[in-house]
Amino acid sequence: MRTVRHWTGREVRALRAARRMSIREFAAHLGVSDRMVSKWEAAGEQISPRPVNQAALDTSLRRSSPEVRERFAEFLSTPPLLDGAAEAESPIIRHPVDGKRMALVPGGPFREGLTSEPAWLPAFYIDIHPTTNAEYGRFVAATGHRPPAHWTDEGCPPERASHPVVLVSWHDAQAYAEWAGKSLPTGEQWEKAARGQFGDQFPWGDQPLPDRCNVWETGIGGTAPVGRYIRGASPYGVYDMCGNVWEWCATERVPGRYERRGGSFATPLSQCLPALSADGPAGLRADNTGFRCVMG
């Protein structure tokens, strides 16, 4: 049987995933708070539970079924950084063209879709935030590309500079990506960046918490500044992967129609699951749809 000599947040997350429990269920199972489990998992190998909690984790693993122990060993067999030389990669970079910060999503297996089927992707970087009006404005100024219809002759309204750009078609998003030397994410890339390796239902875990995102239940009724919902970050530190604006992807569902992911401020939380996707015609320009880019 696989044993753990010294538990860290990484092993905690692997055991929870192997037992297929939500953070709240796993916390109750161990007799600790769900906030403590979240803290362990967020810190990864940089944190170790106290001895009394190490003992509780030992007991949980020892009493697990053979299937759970097998899944636990499988999850732990995936290196935390992956892809050989990827250990030399920085988890956060700043892109040289558009200046956006990008987070590393390590290559390797992950759980995909509503049924959490195993899948695999190579490593890539993804924009930490959706493209903002200010960032899109620099692209417009550099290329002469058509600005969004709600902008004035002076450009984006200043009070909306840090909000995600909207009223952009798939073609507009693709043009920005090409200018920046990036690409739009595939649906699989977007989903892994939002859910992490273990296929949590939401970027922050399995609990439906509308206070961690800008969705219909939040009641804002429009876009919010990117990065406002710090507690809603994904396991890779990527923001606004649930709500705020739908995001265009590179995946073409049928000719001329492309995936959109993440839901928006007008979407109920239950329909913002990162495993779900919608689609739209490439020429659609909607006040609840924007984008972000990937590289690698």
User: What distances in angstroms separate CA 231 from CA 57, 151, 227, 248, one per listed residue?
Assistant: 26, 31, 9, 23
What was the pLDDT predicted at 47?
86
What residues does 261 pair with on adjacent strands? 247, 277
For residue range 203-235, what is the model confidence (pLDDT) as tens digits? 999 999 999 999 999 999 999 999 899 999 999
d(CA 129, CA 42): 19
Rounded Cα gap, residues 186 and 292, in angstroms: 11
Q: What are the structure tokens assigned to 35, written together?
A: 């906030």
Q: Which residues, 6+ apart, have CB-to-CB distance to 126 below 8 Å?
A: 102, 103, 105, 185, 189, 190, 193, 236, 238, 292, 293, 294, 295
Core vs surface per residue 244-280: b (16+ CB within 10 A) or e: bbbbbbbbeeeeebbbbbbbbbbbebeebbbbebbbb
Q: CA angle, corner 93, sides to 105 and 77, nearest 5?
A: 30
Residues in the chain where the model's pLDDT stays below 50: 1, 79-88
Terminal-to-terminal C-alpha distance of the chain = 38
Q: Distance between CA atoms of 80 and 21, rounded to whole angstroms? A: 21
Extract the tokens encoding 158.
Answer: 């200043």
Distances (CA, A) of 252 to 2, 115, 255, 292: 42, 21, 7, 16
CA dist 90 and 104 (Å) reads 7
CA atoms of 197 and 15, how far apart (whole Å): 13
How far from 154 is each of 166, 230, 236, CA to CA, in Å? 17, 31, 36
- pTM of the predicted model as reported, rounded to 2 decimal places: 0.72
By residue count, the chain amounts to 296
pLDDT value, residue 87 = 38
Collapsing DSSP states into helix, strand and coil, what is residue 249?
strand
The residues, ordered by sequence, that sit 6+ positions from 49 with a Cβ below 8 Å of its Cβ are 7, 12, 40, 57
Q: Residues 65-70: contacts with CB within 8 Å, 24+ apart?
A: 68/18, 68/19, 69/1, 69/2, 69/18
